[in-house]
Structure 1
């Protein structure tokens, strides 16, 4: 059975940290492929500086184009807002009954996992891979949750989309934090700029 990792995010914008993590997980876990699920709206995040969903989806497609085991998904674009991971997982499972889906989350999300919509249902029905995020020790998560997830010792790349958006807004040039085509796309479409 094919095992598909699901990496959810605003990808506002997608950066080399996302790509390096996905690449590492493909090589060092049982995943056969990874789907980047572009979320139109994260229930825990402000929407103010969120680029249009189509722009973010296009940037993800550009960034992952060289790896055939990566795909971009806009499944949440037609779902009610805000986007709840549990609903998306349910939809994916229904549409692909022969596929095994594994949720990929950072340790920052693991620590707040009990607050997620239908958290227990997700834990019962899906395998969860947890990668480290600086300042969020996975060991601090609730013990019963820790026993149901797999911690992955992926390399720490402390790059954030917030940093990249701020750099564009301040007219700083940081072209190596995103792929070259994404950098050009942001400039061409004047995203995150004054």
Structure 2
């Protein structure tokens, strides 16, 4: 019997409660056995600019997920060529773990811009996607394709950019970050 794994890709710069709320919702309501948080060392659509070192982001991610057995911090993309392309990672994950049924977790904003991704037609045809709503992005005009499931996850307009900016300004954002993450960031002086 295969395990159904939701793959939540991201820079997690830093991981925040919005990521955990989404993963929790999908684990409970979308039939996922586990959610793997796949840490992307370098997103091809983002500048490296204020990207915290990948080892530090992985440390924060592991800290954030340590109390939930269904959530796994994955450094799988650390071993792949950079920048990371989702289709390549999915192919490699599928080859490495053929016993798992992978579902790509994607925000409506990314689905509406999927034509900019590497091999979008093959991605949509070959892999199953769980699409969650994002503020300001409507999926009404999006054609439904086999393997694409829209989930009515809670809308949280929270971003890592907002958190980084707040931390730079010296704001106490303890309750926007998973338990222990704020304290580690503060202790190490990250994002200042």
Question: Which TM-score tier does this pair reach, normalised by the shorter chain?
Answer: over 0.9
Please give the per-residue CA displacement for 1:161-184, whole angstroms capped at 9, x wherever unaligned: 001100111111111000231001
- Aligned residue for 2:168? 169
RMSD: 1.0
TM-score (ref. length: structure 1): 0.95
SS, match of residue 176 in structure 1: helix
Helix, strand or coil for the counterpart of 1:180?
A: coil
Q: What aligned pairs does 1:136-147 form with structure 2 within 5 A after superposition? A: 136-141=137-142, 143=143, 146-147=144-145
Separation of aligned partners in 2, 1:59 and 1:123: 31
- Equivalent in the alignment of 2:14: 13
The number of residue pairs the alignment matches comes to 190
* Residue 157 of structure 2 corresponds to residue 181 of structure 1: no
CA contact (8 A) 1:4 1:34 kept: yes
**Aligned partners of 2:19 and 2:54: how far apart in 1?**
17
- What TM-score comes out, normalization by structure 2 length? 0.96
Q: In structure 1, how many angstroms separate the alpha carbons of the residues matched to 2:138 and 2:70?
A: 29
* Segments of 4+ moved more than 6 angstroms: none
- For the Cα contact (< 8 Å) 1:103–1:127, is it kept in 2? yes
Q: Unmatched 5+ residue regions in structure 2? A: none
- Partners of 1:116 and 1:162 in 2: how far apart? 22
| Distance across 2 between alignment mates of 1:140 and 1:113 | 14
Q: Which runs of 5+ in 1 are unaligned?
A: none
* Aligned counterparts of 2:141 and 2:57: Cα–Cα separation in 1: 32
Give how far 1:67 is off.
Answer: 0.6
Deviation per residue, 1:68-106 (Å, 9 max, x gap)? 011011011121111100111011000111211000000
